[in-house]
Amino acid sequence: MEEEEGAEEQQRFSYQQRLKAAVHYTVGCLCAEAASDTQVQLSKQTVAAIAEVTFRQCENFAKDLEMFARHAKRSTINTEDVKLLARRSNSLLKYITEKNEEIAEFNTERKTKKKKKLEAEDKSSVEPAEAGGAEGES
């Protein structure tokens, strides 16, 4: 039993280390891009500090999102939870709200097209059956 828990803990630690490495790599790329735009160089320690703060902030975001959903008695995080998380940053909240509306509009259009397509298919499949039935009656 303890061996299984130890193996599970080791796997969780390994996964977390891979995530940290991915965040560090991405932050490094973004810092290099920003440095080339502004002609300001950032030390490796600065990039590492930014990566660590970013990773910790993402952990906090994940915990907050989970708690928001749990408070609403849901097991799934939805866009309302994300909006609640972003409520302190007006520009971020505005961006998230706009994107959410775009996605909702796209989904509505897609559902409408799918419904029309199904109705057209149903109508076309009914018409040949009616035509065949009319010929048999003559």
Q: What are the C-alpha distances in Å from 101 to residues 40, 69, 94, 104, 138?
A: 38, 20, 11, 5, 56
- Does position 12 have pLDDT exceeding 60, yes or no? yes
Query: Which pLDDT score is estimated for 92?
Result: 93
Tens-place pLDDT, residues 54-82: 999 999 999 999 999 999 999 999 999 99
Q: Return the closest-CA partner of residue 22 out of 62, 69, 54, 66.
A: 54
Q: How confident is the model at residue 138 (pLDDT cuts 50, 70, 90)?
A: very low
Query: In 1-89, which ranges are continuous DSSP H helix?
Result: 2-38, 44-71, 79-85
**Cβ neighbourhood burial of 44 (10 Å; 0-12, 13-18, 19+):** exposed
pTM beyond cutoff 0.75: no
Nearest-angstrom CA–CA distance, 125 and 130: 9
Give Rg (Cα) of the chain: 27
Nearest-angstrom CA–CA distance, 36 and 123: 61
- Does position 124 have pLDDT exceeding 70, yes or no? yes
Give Cβ neighbours of residue 35 (< 8 Å, ≥ 6 apart).
Answer: 41, 42
Q: What is the mean pLDDT of residues 26-44?
A: 92
Q: What is the mean pLDDT of residues 90-104?
A: 94
If you average pLDDT over every residue of the chain, what do you get?
Answer: 89
- Does position 98 have pLDDT exceeding 60, yes or no? yes
DSSP string, 67-109: HHHHHTT-SS--HHHHHHHTTT-HHHHHHHHHHHHHHHHHHHH
Of 29-33, 73-77, 115-119, 129-133, give the lowest mean pLDDT range: 129-133
